Structure 1
Amino acid sequence: MVLPWVPNISAISAQSTETEICEVRSIYDGDTMTVKCNGERKKIRLYCIDSPEMKQRPWGKESRDYLRVITPTRVKVIEHGRDRYGRTIGEVWTADGDEIQENLNLAMVWAGRAVVYPRYCREAEYFTAEKNAAAIGSGVWEKEGDWQRPWVYRHHN
């Protein structure tokens, strides 16, 4: 699936360590999914982004549901290491055979369903995507409400 609002980015980050084709098993929230790669289950924490917590209503559920809609059953995962909980940090891409199509992490930011996690991201295209999503009022930027960046919400709750 080609996402019309996301630029076609074919370059893979030089920081990546491993690339695998995986089957999506479940999507817990807007930045975490479980996949099965080469017979091994992996919990993936999406690189560079932070989505609203499920208790941040209505944004958490909307973020999770959006990721579920745009994610095909098979994806390519480009690993960027592990987080402190042992999850694989990864960029998740749609894939057509061996050809990488769209970066779902970046698509979440473009759609305003996640924000850039600046503590863990230095990729300019993510910051550009967030700025554009905010400018056009996409996702978390479209409604008035008690919106907080996810890391601020977690710190206070």
Structure 2
Amino acid sequence: MRNKKFVCILLLLVGCQNATKPQGLTVQVKQVTSGQTIEVVSKGKTMLVRLIGIDAPNMQQQPHGQVAKNSLAQVIANKQVILEFDEQKQDEFGRYLAYVWSDLLVNEYLVKQGVVLVAMKSPNHKYDTRLVRAQEWARLQEQGIWNAKQPMTLTPAEFRAQYR
């Protein structure tokens, strides 16, 4: 009986997911530069894009930085993706800020794999709930950086603060 309840709840949750294709700018991924930044091409123009809502380990935070970059590359390298923008379109460094869609919401996928942390930042909050739920799942499943045998000891923000 308990399994039937679980299946019913799972079906209800899946059934509530938005099945429509996201609206945004279709681009070609040219290069993955880190676990949270990609270089894309749209209409002959190259753009640097930072994924909204996540904070990836720095490349110097090994092995976690490289794992995050590889995980992102595995999902979207050399593919067409859709960039879905939120309220703030660019950051202080001129990078575009976007949710990246392939066959799935890539930002959420990286969080659920435990290779990046959720980093909510105003005014972009469209998928905060999804990202927080994915992080909780990764933490409970001890995925990636949440693995007790090889945890990430400093958050990316704490790591960067050491070098300011």
By the TM > 0.5 criterion, same fold? yes
106, 109, 112: which one aligns with 2:108 = 106
TM-score (norm 1): 0.81
Q: What residue in structure 2 maps to residue 150 of structure 1?
A: 156
TM-score (norm 2): 0.78
- Correspondence list, 1:5-84, <5 A: 9-10=18-19, 19-72=24-77, 73-80=79-86, 81-84=89-92
Identity, in percent, stands at 23
Higher strand share: 1
Residues 1:93 and 2:101 aligned together: yes
Which one-letter code corresponds to 1:76 in the other structure?
I
Identify the range of structure 1 (146-155 vs 55-64) with the bigger mean alpha-carbon deviation: 146-155
Structure 1 unaligned blocks of 5 or more: 1-6, 95-100
SS of the aligned residue for 2:33 comes to: strand
SS of the aligned residue for 1:118 comes to: coil
Structure 2 unaligned blocks of 5 or more: 1-13
State the alpha-carbon separation in 2 of the partners of residues 51 and 9 from structure 1: 26
State the alpha-carbon separation in 2 of the partners of residues 11 and 153 from structure 1: 38
Aligned structure 1 segments of 4 or more residues deviating by more than 6 angstroms: none
What's the Cα RMSD here? 2.1
State the alpha-carbon separation in 1 of the partners of residues 106 and 159 from structure 2: 24
Which one-letter code corresponds to 1:141 in the other structure?
W
State the alpha-carbon separation in 1 of the partners of residues 20 and 162 from structure 2: 37
Structure with larger RCO (C-alpha < 8 A, sep 6+): 1
Distance 1:34 1:152, change over 3 A: same
State the alpha-carbon separation in 1 of the partners of residues 146 and 19 from structure 2: 27
